[in-house]
Structure 1
């Protein structure tokens, strides 16, 4: 990535196919539907039926906008999000945010591996705790020992497990007319439970770790391609790369929100309809589906939990590692050898195994996940606000600052998340 390299030849037709444009955005969006998110969407559907489906129509454009902005920052500057945040905000503020992100991600990993262990034990006989340990160790080994390009391709194929949640809709009875009517014109209940669940849906869908991951993956894509450069140094690449980022992110966030919609729809059409209104985990949702929706729906739902966890844990651990490395100027790349990026890989290992270790402690995973959501709420708003300032700064972005329409959507998303966080804290009292 030398600034004096010659102009790049136009991409080949093969390189410009729509499938080749899917990468960081698709993986980021799919990872958002992790076992913890599945639990949130399942609870929303079980408790309120179809009356919260509208939230996922609102989160899609907001989520897509903020993820495009994070990706643009990474591609334009050739640096991860934490490094860029330090160029605008006081170092101590970034340190505090990144520290909270690390803690929140470890708690989220703990909840995810626990859910994966429980889900696997529902399908195949075995102890949930040791299944959870196995998934945690497997995730570490894959990230540390598989070369970046091969690992990214593996993550891309893993996104197909999300089809399990689309499939479940077609093996249960869904009153589509009622669904359409309620999605467009829901019965809103202005009470604490309803508002808290809205906050949970927004907090689960628009999460800080996704910003750090997608920006860093754009940097990884730069490093993996000898012909690519940060866009500030390669104006001839701008139109093609911005177009790819938009397409990749719109598809990825569309997948994320569509799958969340189907999970909420499935549990609303089955569990809520049968009077099951309290779901505390994704594994419990799978178990509750069995007598209501049948064996096939149960197996699809349970295996989907395992697959989404295998996709999400690397993103949770990796985003924490990228954030820490960017903050303290360590070498950070999944394409680097372990010996060349010990501290970066060390964070991945510690975060994942610490998450696994929490499951051996006398800690209620549901309460832990609740506090993880609180931490994410604390982190999200300042990170998004600083991101917007960075993305609008000619000093950092050159003449590639974000367009007015994208800037408006980004600030709208920041405002919505600020309102959701205030509502969350207000619900404590």
Structure 2
């Protein structure tokens, strides 16, 4: 039993890190708002999204592992430059706004635990810590650190222990989709999709797979070492499905606890994760409040490097720079400079009057819309024999990918139409 557990833990890597960083402070705020506004009506999303997000991330991981290049690097090599620059620009803008919202959420959570920050030290300290971790730690050390920090995400499962859960009713709302054709519901559904199936995650996981392969002298891009394919694909599946299961379980418990506490007590508008923590305290108790706040900080420490790092990978691969976390700072100055600049610009949004809540909502919806063309690009790469050789994605995986793209496209389209001609 011990050997099996040890072997399982060895499979955990980029997929788990990607999964836990998916539940970042902006995602927490979005899921909390979904539960506060609609009660248990969106619980079904956590179950329904699991095969979709897991399938998409498995495709991303396979592309990196098979080709030996990240998403942006493959687009640069095989597709028009206009597509590459569009992808890089849109991911950069979306991620920088998301970084700003996440740092704001973490700083506010620190205030709840450590006291007021009159000098606005917290946002800058968080950004400098994230930059230093990405710049000065080796990939192996940083990867191990992220796995341990990722355990903080289970704080949100623990919060359910402080409320009475009607499991029969919860099962009904989880197993049967409940959809409303209203502006608020469709916008929230698009935001939940966008914060769960986010474009930066495609870039991040494909690039981390390349990093892992380069870090091990016994591993090679699968296309040039076909005998490694079975073991590597099994590792990718175990790793990715574990990470995405964590994402969806945490999403489920955040929606559930906010539905059973905030929504049930008439608190229907939560505009930030820290506001949710404050609202939770008188309902579920001080310890639940502290768990929520700690979870915000822990997931933010994962998410900010992921967001900034995915910009670094996208820009570095686009311009053929030395790119990767195992490079020393002096070996990849431009790569690390992009990461630092993106993080500092995002941090600056908290000092220049940008409304973090509007930025958060806008980012979630933008991600929901942006994911559609990027999913199409991801699937095109996965089918491209010039990139994948004999290891193009299987039919079942492709079907899941296209279903995901179609559903996200439909949700985004209905949301945009409703902005012009409201449904209700």
Q: Same fold (TM over 0.5)?
A: yes
Per the alignment, residue 59 of structure 2 pairs with 69
How far residue 391 of structure 1 moved from its aligned partner, in angstroms, is 0.6
Range that drifts further, 191-200 or 351-360: 191-200
Per the alignment, residue 80 of structure 1 pairs with 70
State how far apart, in whole Å, the 1-side matches of 2:6 and 2:73 are.
30
TM-score w.r.t. the length of structure 2 is: 0.96
**Structure 1 position 202 matched with structure 2 position 193:** yes
Confirm or deny: 8 A CA contact 1:172 1:266 kept in the other structure: yes
Corresponding residue to 2:366 among 358, 375, 383: 375
How far residue 375 of structure 1 moved from its aligned partner, in angstroms, is 3.1
Per the alignment, residue 45 of structure 2 pairs with 55
**Structure 1 position 342 matched with structure 2 position 333:** yes
| Cα distance change of structure 1 residues 121 and 16 upon mapping to structure 2, 3 Å threshold | closer
Structure 2, gaps ≥5 residues long = none
Corresponding residue to 2:267 among 257, 267, 276: 276
Corresponding residue to 1:119 among 97, 109, 134: 109
Confirm or deny: 8 A CA contact 1:88 1:386 kept in the other structure: no
Per the alignment, residue 301 of structure 1 pairs with 292
| Cα distance change of structure 1 residues 16 and 404 upon mapping to structure 2, 3 Å threshold | farther
Confirm or deny: 8 A CA contact 1:39 1:279 kept in the other structure: yes
Per the alignment, residue 265 of structure 1 pairs with 256
Confirm or deny: 8 A CA contact 2:66 2:221 kept in the other structure: yes
State how far apart, in whole Å, the 1-side matches of 2:5 and 2:139 are.
19
Confirm or deny: 8 A CA contact 1:68 1:249 kept in the other structure: yes
Per the alignment, residue 349 of structure 2 pairs with 358
| Cα distance change of structure 1 residues 264 and 15 upon mapping to structure 2, 3 Å threshold | closer
Deviations 1:363-384 (A, max 9, x none): 1111122332343234211111
State how far apart, in whole Å, the 2-side matches of 1:351 and 1:174 are.
42
Corresponding residue to 1:217 among 208, 216, 222: 208
How far residue 187 of structure 1 moved from its aligned partner, in angstroms, is 4.7
Alignment of 1:240-251 (within 5 A): 240-251=231-242
Deviations 1:315-344 (A, max 9, x none): 000011101111111111101000110111
Per the alignment, residue 418 of structure 1 pairs with 409
Confirm or deny: 8 A CA contact 2:376 2:405 kept in the other structure: yes
How far residue 85 of structure 1 moved from its aligned partner, in angstroms, is 1.7
Confirm or deny: 8 A CA contact 2:52 2:401 kept in the other structure: yes
Per the alignment, residue 287 of structure 1 pairs with 278
Alignment of 1:397-416 (within 5 A): 397-416=388-407
Confirm or deny: 8 A CA contact 1:199 1:423 kept in the other structure: no
| Cα distance change of structure 1 residues 185 and 68 upon mapping to structure 2, 3 Å threshold | closer
| Cα distance change of structure 1 residues 84 and 268 upon mapping to structure 2, 3 Å threshold | same
State how far apart, in whole Å, the 2-side matches of 1:345 and 1:285 are.
34
| Cα distance change of structure 1 residues 239 and 153 upon mapping to structure 2, 3 Å threshold | same
Structure 1, gaps ≥5 residues long = 1-12
How far residue 427 of structure 1 moved from its aligned partner, in angstroms, is 2.8
Confirm or deny: 8 A CA contact 1:35 1:309 kept in the other structure: yes
| Cα distance change of structure 1 residues 120 and 61 upon mapping to structure 2, 3 Å threshold | same
Per the alignment, residue 92 of structure 1 pairs with 82
Deviations 1:245-270 (A, max 9, x none): 01100110000011011011110010
Confirm or deny: 8 A CA contact 1:32 1:312 kept in the other structure: yes
State how far apart, in whole Å, the 1-side matches of 2:246 and 2:4 are.
24
Confirm or deny: 8 A CA contact 1:172 1:297 kept in the other structure: no
Per the alignment, residue 5 of structure 1 pairs with none
State how far apart, in whole Å, the 2-side matches of 1:16 and 1:156 are.
15
State how far apart, in whole Å, the 2-side matches of 1:63 and 1:144 are.
29
Confirm or deny: 8 A CA contact 2:98 2:346 kept in the other structure: yes
Confirm or deny: 8 A CA contact 1:85 1:387 kept in the other structure: no
State how far apart, in whole Å, the 2-side matches of 1:382 and 1:186 are.
26
Confirm or deny: 8 A CA contact 1:119 1:306 kept in the other structure: yes
TM-score w.r.t. the length of structure 1 is: 0.95
The number of aligned residues is 417
**Structure 1 position 108 matched with structure 2 position 101:** no
Confirm or deny: 8 A CA contact 1:100 1:375 kept in the other structure: no
How far residue 396 of structure 1 moved from its aligned partner, in angstroms, is 1.1
| Cα distance change of structure 1 residues 404 and 185 upon mapping to structure 2, 3 Å threshold | closer
